[in-house]
Amino acid sequence: MALRSTALCSTTSLPFRRSRAVVLSVAALGTVGLAACAPPGQVTSTDKGTLPSVFTSSPPPAGYAPGGENEAQAPVQEGSKLTADIKGSDGKTIGTATFTDIKGAIEVTIEAKGLTPGNHGWHVHEKNVCDGDFTSAGAHLMKDNVDVGGQFPTLYVMKDGTGTLTTTTDLFSWEDLTNGGNGRAVVIHDVTDTTKRVACGVVKE
Ligand SMILES: [Cu+2]
């Protein structure tokens, strides 16, 4: 029986049937041969690690709530984004700031155009208002009496007036930025007169 089963699934075994010694040794290996004869894509019942990892016809374990309370208890989801439509003093959009919640930090990307070439200071200001000369945005975002909104590398604007920058900070939290849903403001300053605010955008979802 063992020889027949082996022969059925191994074309190379046929020539060896002429030799009794080989036939006997093949027969002795019959069990092994059978195990190796499972068709491609199928596994034998003795294989380990083939138990299904998903819930099938059985009810889910107690406490498992897909899309329910398990997710509601999750902290701020990594990858959340906030954006600011940055406008010049004439009210026209000149760029975008995108804030992304990454693990333990915030990534900021600024893309701007139509700015004076050179290095522009820019900051997260405390108030979510961009009116007039943008003093409405208030001072830099502070935390525990530390200026946490003003510590970013400058935005270098090229001769064509465009500038991009991506940086990260862990000086303030995602909650500091969202401000209870009110947001903050991104302010870009003038190249030469750093007290002058040339562009502003409210950070929002
Ligand atoms: Cu500023």
Provide the pLDDT for residue 76. 56
- Distance from Cα 138 to the centre of ligand 1, integer Å: 9
Same domain, yes or no, for 155 and 197?
yes
The answer to whether the beta carbons of residues 156 and 119 sit under 8 Å apart is: yes
Tell me which residue range forms the domain holding 25. Answer: 1-48
**Model-level pTM greater than 0.75?**
no
Provide the pLDDT for residue 79. 83
Q: Retrieve residue 122's tokens.
A: 């820019």
Residue 102 belongs to some domain of the structure: yes
Question: What beta strand segments (E) does 35-189 contain?
Answer: 81-88, 93-102, 105-112, 118-120, 122-125, 142-143, 146-147, 155-157, 163-169, 185-189
Same domain, yes or no, for 43 and 109?
no
- Distance from Cα 60 to the centre of ligand 1, integer Å: 53
Q: What one-letter code names the amino acid at 18?
A: R
- Distance from Cα 189 to the centre of ligand 1, integer Å: 6
Same domain, yes or no, for 88 and 2?
no
- Distance from Cα 103 to the centre of ligand 1, integer Å: 26
Give me the number of domains the chain comprises. Answer: 2
User: Which residues partner with 119 through β-bridges?
Assistant: 156
DSSP 11: G
Tokens 């940055």 belong to 86
Same domain, yes or no, for 119 and 184?
yes
Per run of 10 residues, the mean pLDDT along the chain (length 205 residues) is 39 40 40 41 43 43 42 60 97 98 95 98 98 98 98 98 98 96 97 97 93
The answer to whether the beta carbons of residues 154 and 160 sit under 8 Å apart is: no
Interior/surface letters 107-146, b for 16+ CB within 10 angstroms, e for the rest: ebebbbebbeeeebbbbbbbbbbbeeebebbbebbeeeee
